[in-house]
Amino acid sequence: MKLRQPTDFLILEGLEDKGRNVATNLAAHTGKSRKNINTRLPVLEDYGLVEKIGPAERSGLYEITSLGKAVLVYQDQYDEVDDFEELIRGPNATDGDGSSESQASFARGDDESEDT
């Protein structure tokens, strides 16, 4: 995972702060060109950090994923670690036992438990 700083982090922050959005609004939020944002959004989608949500296939409406939120949690460590993707996905990401998602969920502060 190779992120462009600060653009990719600004895109993720914009989606987290403002909710689902399009490139034009993200360009205004980040101060980057719409062309630059339109170039980076598909890359971030390939990494699983954002998701294109429609309503139409070509609408360009995106929202941040839980993995994208984890990237923001660990943003200050991006330049300090050898494998940032392993950091945000957790050490058991390739085990296939589902535990990596619960670890990432814990790191993000997500609470899936229900109060009864």
Residue 59: C-alpha distances to residues 24, 76, 101 (Å): 12, 32, 29
Q: Per residue of the chain (116 residues), give pLDDT as tens.
A: 888 889 999 999 999 998 989 999 999 989 999 999 999 999 999 999 999 987 777 778 999 999 999 999 888 888 888 888 888 887 655 444 444 454 444 454 555 545 54
Residue ranges and CATH numbers for the domains of the chain are 7-108 (1.10.10.10)
* pTM of structure: 0.73
Distance CA 112, CA 16 (A): 19
